[in-house]
């Protein structure tokens, strides 16, 4: 959708982070999995009614989600598996978010 048009802007914004982590030479899939773990942890904090911790972790998870693809392109490590893993992690987080919110705050 609109992601294809925003990719260049997102990659330019991520350059300072890419320069910082680019020297470590690890797989972008680690960043994808880390974004999933951070996102799931944020959802856990939603269920225990710690809104600010949940919001902070969810925001960090989304930053990591944007960083993984930019890092893959920056280090020339793009792969079909990485794209698939990114989609699976994203859909998992996006799918569980309404469940966590509505099970914790049913009147909202």
Task: Give tens-digit pLDDT for 7-17.
Answer: 777 777 777 88
Please report, for the domain that includes residue 96, its CATH number: 1.20.120.1760
CB 93 within 8 A of CB 39: yes
Burial per residue of 39-61, b for 16 or more beta-carbon CB atoms within 10 angstroms, e otherwise = bbbbbebbeeeeeeebeebbebb
Average pLDDT over residues 75-90: 94
Enclosing domain of residue 42 = 3-104
- Label residue 44 by pLDDT band (50, 70, 90): very high
Q: What percent of the chain has pLDDT over 90?
A: 58
Q: How many domains does the chain have?
A: 1
Average pLDDT over residues 41-55: 95
Task: Give tens-digit pLDDT for 50-60.
Answer: 999 999 999 99
CA-to-CA separations, 23 to 19, 20, 75, in angstroms, rounded: 7, 7, 10
């Amino acid at each position: 959708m609109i992601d294809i048009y925003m990719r260049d802007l997102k990659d330019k914004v991520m350059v300072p982070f890419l320069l910082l982590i680019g020297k470590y030479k690890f797989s972008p899939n680690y960043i994808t999995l880390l974004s999933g773990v951070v996102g799931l942890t944020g959802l856990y904090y939603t269920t225990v009614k710690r809104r600010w911790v949940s919001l902070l972790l969810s925001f960090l998870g989304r930053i990591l989600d944007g960083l993984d693809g930019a890092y893959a392109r920056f280090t020339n490590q793009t792969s079909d598996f990485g794209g698939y893993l990114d989609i699976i992690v994203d859909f998992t987080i996006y799918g569980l978010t309404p469940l966590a919110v509505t099970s914790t705050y049913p009147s909202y």
